[in-house]
Structure 1
Amino acid sequence: MILKNDVFHFKEEPIVSPKMFTVNTLGPKGTSSEYAAKHFISHSTTTLGTHTKLSLYDTFETCIEHTLSNSLQYTLVPHAYEGIKHFYMRPDLQLLQIFRCDTPMYGLAVRPDFPFQEQMLHHLKIVSHPAPVNLIQYFIHQNAEFELVNSTSTAAQKVRDGEFDFALTNEVARVTYGLTFIRTFKSIPMSWSIFGKGEI
């Protein structure tokens, strides 16, 4: 505000565009990582601001590369991911935050029209991400053959598309890809790390 000729004139302030933050994590749509990232974003508006975008990639390594090659980008990784140990060692990454967010319910899913019978549980071939495979032993008490893929959502996709009959997946992916649970196991207690080039 400026006083000129006994009249106050208001100085126009330049309009500053809000910064856009991006959180990268594992896709495709329906992963537990996406679920946790949405939780993180919804509880971090005072830190990140309201302009936050979620980006999904096929691997956590790809997420990290996007974080390192772009400004204001961060990567969310679950502590169940075996490869997370490498991220802690990298000199070009910083661990910015750790938080807890339990996963959606996990279970064994099939297509709605699949003619499931109980005896099939004795000879299972299951498509799954590596991290939750022990759920089968703990809850069904059977050994199974596993086809390992990079996410629980990819597992659900492959069952939907008819490549496999059984997917170990979560509730969000089950709904997203139109499957039916024949067994439900548990929501997995999980902690997560946020990596970036600098402090949020």
Structure 2
Amino acid sequence: MHERIAVLERFAAARCVPRVVTDDPAAAQSFLDIAIGAGHEGVMVKAIESLYDAGRRGQSWRKVKPVHTRDLVVLAAEWGHGRRRGWLSNLHLGARAADGTFVMVGKTFKGLTDELLQSQTDALLEREHHRDGIVVYVRPELVVEIALDGVQSSKRYPGGVALRFARVRRYRPDKSPLEADTIDDLRALLPH
């Protein structure tokens, strides 16, 4: 890595991106904060002894970016296939709108263990109000904490935003749907 950096600085200094070489967590966090403040999604952290391999990050390179969590409401779920056959898997997620309804903002099946898939299927079937093909629509009563890397503008969903890399953290039985995050909370995550 040291040799590669030296060659890049010698022949392409004007095109080199900002970097910091440090083993100090505070300095690394400061660099990440500056990158986020400048509108970047995150930073690449690379082991100093790692080798460059075009088109690959490998185990010694990691993308580090902030993870946001939001409490959203389950509006529907799709029957799984393959290993998830027999379970309601792909969740349709909604944020609270100003009028008290819920606006769909994305789907996810990530982060679900077999145990959670089973209990989720049971809970969703208890709340079913109709089906359309593989989609089971439910009463909007279950709040789920979702980890996401951000949101992006979307014409697909009525709220105008879509979740990026959404995954289930846990269900929130301690929260009512009226305490779920709003569509405006999600829009506030849009890049400026």
Higher relative contact order (CA 8 A, sep 6+): 1
TM-score (norm 2): 0.27
Which structure would you say has the larger Rg? 1
